[in-house]
Structure 1
């Protein structure tokens, strides 16, 4: 379980996102896991049946916002057209970041 703490990086939050565009069959989930692990985030990424990708990521607010910027950047694989998202308080439900099926 993730440890809740306040500090230089801010309060822990959860980003829940639905990413639309060319994001399946392009390594999007793999690179999302790698980026999340690089940033020290916990959570999940999955392909949705409608062709979008669903993400839940938890960590310090500043780091989660950096991850969100990456999702919208040209550095993300495939082609991201839109990111529908919400930010809420982290629950500590995840111990790592992984692909779920």
Structure 2
């Protein structure tokens, strides 16, 4: 005797589980494993969401230092350094996608 039970979960949508009085642990274990897997990926996504902010801060600081070094009086005489200095400005703007 098998009956279909429809469970509704707020975050994961509607899930159909087949309930059998003979072997109930099989479906319960699968549901728990699926919930654990979803929670695991949610935690990873939450932790990685700060990565772009860290990259933007590090990139901005690095470009500011490079701009300062490339625009010093000794290096300003070379046209290549001016191109590199303008490249640091454009790189900073592209970090913020302007």
**Could you say which structure has the greater relative contact order, defined with CA pairs below 8 angstroms and 6 or more residues apart?**
1
TM-score by length of 2: 0.27
Q: So what's the TM-score if we normalise by structure 1?
A: 0.26
More helix by share: 2
